[in-house]
Amino acid sequence: MTLSLPLLKPRPADARPVWEEPPGAVGKVAKAVVVAVVCAVMILPFLTVLSTSLASREQITEAGGFVLFPTDPTLQAYTTILSGGVVTRAVLVSVGVTVVGTTLSLATTIAFAYALSKRGVPGAKAILMMVLFTLLFAPGMIPMYVLVKELGLLDSYWALILPGMISAFNLVVLRAFYMNIPEELYQAARIDGAGDWRILTRIVLPLSKGVTAVVGLFYAVTYWNAFFNAMLYLNDSGKWPIQVVLRTYVVQNKQLTADQLGLQHMPPQQSIAMAVVMLALVPILLLFPFLQKYFTKGVLTGAVKG
């Protein structure tokens, strides 16, 4: 007696791969569980920080430090740190550095990338190789400090902007996008008498809104979150951005006094610390919903050509 095994039906040549097939019931449940766990891991700390910043002194004392669900929320910590003093000044410094730095970085990176994307520009390949070299090999902390000192930028806000004004990665991304714009558009504009400035402003920038928004977001996040350059180049604590204040008074657990905040009565230190954390998180967090539609398109720019 012989056993016959069922023959497997060969898959068609144009069939989708197995991993692209719709998941079954078990797969859908597993995905839902994984997504729920990841969301809980991400949301729970944020919710704890927000709740503690809104909690009263009694709730914080009863909970032992952190509050998950405040029963009597209050904005006293936020009104305290935003009523003047070191935190308010640090927020204004961070906003100014982020706005000015992002504007200058976008302008210089766009102009640089457009010049390197043009064919026939003398020395373009050599300059591009130097840019790629800086992407692979950083100059180091001591040479950067010596350069900033010799330029007279110590204890200046420009020390937070100029050393990192152009990112090699963002430059390469923009250049790749500009090179993928059809050459016929450039030729048609040249025939109509348009120069490089008009081509850049009327053709290139309108076609690259997505990648420009993403690069701008990268720059804004970098400037807003930067704290090491401020610690290295700024000796005056009155010029510190919010991230340095956050590190000093939250991470290092240094106490904010009533004199530093310009007040007579102080809310709980735990509420103030968590309110400072929220101030450091929320501004950049609010930008992502507006730029989300550009994000996927922008980060994949230059990856597929054709």
pLDDT band, residue 99 (cuts 50/70/90): very high
| Residue 290 φ then ψ, to 5° | -80, -25
Domains and their CATH numbers in the chain: 25-74 (no CATH), 79-299 (1.10.3720.10)
pLDDT tens per residue across span 231-287: 888 888 888 888 888 887 776 666 666 555 555 556 677 788 888 888 888 887 877
| pLDDT greater than 50 at residue 221 | yes
Whether 109 contacts 171, CB under 8 Å: yes
Q: What is the DSSP letter of 255?
A: P
Q: Which CA distances in Å does 138 have to 41, 54, 116, 233, 240?
A: 34, 42, 21, 18, 25
Which residue, 266, 230, 253, is CA-closest to 90? 230
Mean pLDDT of 162-189: 86
pLDDT tens per residue across span 183-211: 888 888 888 887 888 888 888 888 888 88
Structure tokens at 234: 């700024």
What is residue 251's predicted lDDT score, i.e. its pLDDT?
Answer: 66
What is residue 306's predicted lDDT score, i.e. its pLDDT?
Answer: 44
The vertex-154 CA angle with 104 and 131, nearest 5°, equals 45
Structure tokens at 180: 């993928």
3-state class (DSSP) for residue 37: helix
Mean pLDDT of the chain: 80
pLDDT band, residue 305 (cuts 50/70/90): very low
Structure tokens at 121: 């520009």
Torsion sign (Cα): 102, 103, 104, 110: positive
What is residue 223's predicted lDDT score, i.e. its pLDDT?
Answer: 92
